[in-house]
A and B are shown apart, each in its own frame.
Chain A
Amino acid sequence: QVQLVQSGTEVEKPGASVKVSCRASGYTLTGYHIHWVRQAPGQGLEWMGLISPNSGGTYYAQKFLGRVTLTRDTSINTAYMELNNLRSDDTAVYYCAREASGASDYWGQGTLVTVSS
């Protein structure tokens, strides 16, 4: 069955970088776009960007331009999200989600990233 399995909890200091992985199983990564969405504590969903694993092409939300990089390694069916220059308000659960028919049909379990000095 289709699964997206994300890497574990991260604790980082302000100014550092974090890289979260999202391993796809049950299907070939290159078949579908992967979106990254975050959710701050008690808040709603916030879209960060998407990657087309087939071409490597990306779209980023304006808010994160220059600070986020989406990549993939098709040989291991894995997508990555790297966020730089972390601030305390980047503390959130980060999700990867597969897009099919214009919607997010499968989601990873989420990765908690805590930014604290």
Chain B
Amino acid sequence: QAGLTQPPSVSRDLRQTATLTCSGNSNNVGKQGAAWLQQHQGHPPKLLSYRNNNRPSGISERFSASRSGNTASLTITGLQPEDEADYYCSAWDTSLNAWVFGGGTQLTVL
């Protein structure tokens, strides 16, 4: 099933800002918005934001999400070493009746 498109890797310097993107279509990101997940090696994913920019309790304000058309974005400000992880976007696809994921972006904090 067709998934969402994310850049495989992004690198930024410590304390800088990183913006990760996620491209879908009008049946998923464009209609339902996207959720963002963070996954550290060897751990299950952790929800960072849902329905574009709602943060679960306990998630830092350094993480903010947005959407423009069929593309969702996650912006991480003041990068910290612990932000180095894989980031996935996900959305329900109303045409496929399926959850679709992006391939993930590996964020490196230099």
A contact residues vs B (CB 8 Å cutoff): 35, 37, 44-47, 50, 59, 61-63, 95, 97, 100-105, 107-110
Asked if B85 is an interface residue, CB under 8 A from chain A, the answer is: no
Majority SS of interface residues in chain A?
A: strand
Bound Cα distance A47, B56 (Å): 22
Majority SS of interface residues in chain B?
A: strand
| Chain B residues with a Cβ closer than 8 Å to the other chain, count | 26
The answer, among A45, A101, A102, A107, for a CB contact under 8 Å with B101, is A45
Asked if B90 is an interface residue, CB under 8 A from chain A, the answer is: yes
The answer, among B1, B32, B90, B97, for a CB contact under 8 Å with A104, is B90
Bound Cα distance A47, B35 (Å): 14
Total number of residue pairs linking A and B with CB closer than 8 Å: 62
A101 and B51 in contact (CB under 8 A), knowing A44-B104, A107-B45? yes
Q: How far is the CB of A83 from chain B (nearest CB, A)?
A: 17
Q: What is the chain A residue whose CB lies nearest that of B54? A: A101
A46 and B101 in contact (CB under 8 A), knowing A104-B35, A104-B37? yes
Asked if B15 is an interface residue, CB under 8 A from chain A, the answer is: no
Cβ contacts A to B, 14 pairs, < 8 Å: A44-B103, A45-B88, A47-B101, A59-B97, A62-B96, A62-B98, A95-B45, A102-B92, A103-B90, A104-B45, A104-B90, A105-B50, A107-B44, A107-B46
Enumerate chain B residues within 8 angstroms of A105, measured Cβ to Cβ: 47, 50, 56
Enumerate chain B residues within 8 angstroms of A50, measured Cβ to Cβ: 99
Bound Cα distance A61, B101 (Å): 12
Q: How far is the CB of B103 from chain A (nearest CB, A)?
A: 5
Query: When the two chains form their complex, are residues A61 and B50 in contact, meaning their CB atoms are under 8 A apart?
Result: no
Asked if B33 is an interface residue, CB under 8 A from chain A, the answer is: yes
Asked if B76 is an interface residue, CB under 8 A from chain A, the answer is: no
Query: When the two chains form their complex, are residues B35 and A103 in contact, meaning their CB atoms are under 8 A apart?
Result: yes
Enumerate chain B residues within 8 angstroms of A62, measured Cβ to Cβ: 1, 96, 98
Q: How far is the CB of A9 from chain B (nearest CB, A)?
A: 14
Enumerate chain A residues within 8 angstroms of B96, measured Cβ to Cβ: 62
Query: When the two chains form their complex, are residues B88 and A44 in contact, meaning their CB atoms are under 8 A apart?
Result: yes
